Structure 1
Amino acid sequence: MNSSVMTRLLSLSAGFVDTVGFLGLQGLFTAHVTGNFVTLAAGFVYGPHGTIGKILALPEFIGAVAVARLVGAALTARRLPTLTILLGAEAAFLAAFLALGAAYGPFPNSDVVPALAAGFAGVTAMALQNAMQRVHFPGEPPTAIMTNNTTQAVLDGVDLLRRAAPPEVRGRFLRTARSIIWFAGGCAAAALFYYLVQFWSLAVPVAITAAIVITRLREPDVNADASKPV
């Protein structure tokens, strides 16, 4: 599976997971931390529910990225398929998010232990995905940070319209727009699925990530990703 297809699927998955986290855990963003600062501040005005999860989201995210870096370095030193293994870990954390949400949700108060554990699993999965994207797909747009993507797409779009862009900008614009569309598609699908089956909807991103892992394991060049530390 090439990086272009993989990042499309991961963008879809990130939009899905972020939306389910927001709907099911009282405004918790699992795929990025910026929104949690806003919802945390709003919680002090409209009510305290979900505050603990949002406070913990940042250190959880930082810790997961740091561990991914260390584990990735160790895997690479042993010439193991770093990216495939970390994608497997992401799938496992998404499965844990699904299991905890389905077993204990919905959560009228997302500061209870099962909800905090579910949030931890979701945040960790998305932190791993962000870390992997930065290292293994540096030429592809971020799969979970649409603010950066939207800014870049607008800048490139304006340059293309005024015919002031070098040839490579067109390709970057198309890749960035594609990432935004797939992420938005994941958000829309998650809203529908969550309305119908609540946390069971997370079976979709679990299946997507697991399918990527299985596909990579079947490829003859599965060890090609062992040259990078995360």
Structure 2
Amino acid sequence: MRINLSKILGFNAGYVDTASFLGIHGLFAAHVTGNFVTLGAALTSGNQNGAWAKLLALPMFCLVVFSVKLIDRSYLKASKSSYNFLLKLMFFLFTVAAVISIEYLPFPQTDTWPSFIVGMLLVAAMSIQNAVHRLHWTKEAPTTVMTGSTTQMMLDAADWFSQPSEEKKEQIRKRFSTVLPTMLSFALGCAVAALVYKFALIWLFVIPPVLMLASYWKKEDYIKN
């Protein structure tokens, strides 16, 4: 299986979401709306560990996406692309999170400034990945939340069993060939994050900046707008 940009980013999203959930008191860095569920559960149970990070994850996500759009517009006004800058910014955010985490992992089961900062850095980086998908990877399958991709695959599977036309079958094959590998990469990222958390905790957040180096290497390997 050829390793391309969407597979690397899908793996990264699965890895970061699982690593943040396990390492930072149930925080979802890539799937930020899930934090409302864990926040509600925490408040109900009385165990409010990581509550501030979960509460501020969505505002942080929104602020970063808003900022990315402004940055992109400023580049467009100068007849340039924001693409390289945004990838480098993701690498920087992941790297700072990795440096802090090496010093302070494992994070205690209470709210601390290192765990909060690492959580917000991860949310910010994944916000950029979400925004860049809408700005530069518009023809690629989503690389973060897999709900929409799973829904589309099941709809396509149902269409396939309804004896569609050859043209429709070709469209379904094409979607499967782009969506399924990214979904599998996401799932693999989740599994690897769990293994690193179990057996090499101190290196948990070192993997994402390495993945960003791989992403930068493969940065042109995507379906053009």
Q: 1:175 to 1:110 in 2, by over 3 A?
A: farther
More helix by share: 1
Q: 1:99 to 1:110 in 2, by over 3 A?
A: farther
Q: 1:214 to 1:174 in 2, by over 3 A?
A: closer
The whole-number CA distance in structure 2 between the counterparts of 1:110 and 1:164 is 55
> Per-residue deviation at 1:215?
5.0
Which stretch has the larger CA shift, 75-84 or 117-126?
A: 75-84
The whole-number CA distance in structure 1 between the counterparts of 2:31 and 2:118 is 16
The gaps in structure 1 that reach 5 residues or longer are: 220-224
The whole-number CA distance in structure 2 between the counterparts of 1:134 and 1:12 is 18
Corresponding residue number in structure 1 for 2:18: 19
Corresponding residue number in structure 2 for 1:54: 54
CA RMSD of aligned residues (A): 2.1
Kept in 2: contact 1:24–1:199 (CA 8 A): no
Partner SS state of residue 202, structure 1: coil
Corresponding residue number in structure 1 for 2:7: 8
- Correspondent of 2:213 among 191, 210, 214: 210
Q: 1:110 to 1:29 in 2, by over 3 A?
A: farther
> Per-residue deviation at 1:141?
1.5
Partner SS state of residue 150, structure 1: helix
> Per-residue deviation at 1:34?
2.1
Question: What code does the residue aligned with 2:149 have?
Answer: N
- Correspondent of 2:185 among 175, 178, 182: 182
Q: 1:215 to 1:159 in 2, by over 3 A?
A: closer
Q: 1:177 to 1:89 in 2, by over 3 A?
A: same
Kept in 1: contact 2:4–2:218 (CA 8 A): no
> Per-residue deviation at 1:12?
0.5
- Correspondent of 1:172 among 169, 172, 175: 175
> Per-residue deviation at 1:79?
3.3
Q: 1:110 to 1:173 in 2, by over 3 A?
A: farther
> Per-residue deviation at 1:205?
2.0
The whole-number CA distance in structure 2 between the counterparts of 1:32 and 1:169 is 27
Which stretch has the larger CA shift, 38-47 or 122-131?
A: 38-47
The whole-number CA distance in structure 2 between the counterparts of 1:107 and 1:99 is 14
The total of aligned residue pairs comes to 218
> Per-residue deviation at 1:206?
1.0
Deviations 1:36-78 (A, max 9, x none): 1110111012311111110000000000101111111112322
